[in-house]
Amino acid sequence: MTHPDSIDRIDTTAALSSPGICHPLRAWRMAQGLSLAQAADKVGTTRQVWHNWETGKRRPRPRYMARLRQVTGGKVNADVFYPETDAA
């Protein structure tokens, strides 16, 4: 089982539906001790937009992906929002 604070390649669907496991973006924010508003400010967006990313309601637009990678030191990247799928 993946530790809730781990932000390495977690399937977003599983992360959002399993109790005790949070979205990697939220795990990163919580580990940094940031509020939604503080984290959003770091990438130049709003608290509500950040919340939508964390809850899987929305995915960051490309211009924000680069900012997220930079702010998180590469720990949160596009794979978090666009997980690989098997072409079975």
- Tokens at residue 83, please? 């997980």
23-54 pLDDT, tens digit per residue, is: 999 999 999 999 999 999 999 999 999 999 99
d(CA 53, CA 7): 14
Q: Measuring CA to CA, which residue among 72, 84, 86, 85 is closest to residue 24?
A: 72
d(CA 17, CA 13): 6
The helices-and-strands tally (H runs, E runs) of the chain is 6, 0
Q: Global pTM?
A: 0.70
pLDDT of residue 27: 94
The pLDDT-based confidence of 18 (bands split at 50, 70, 90) is very low
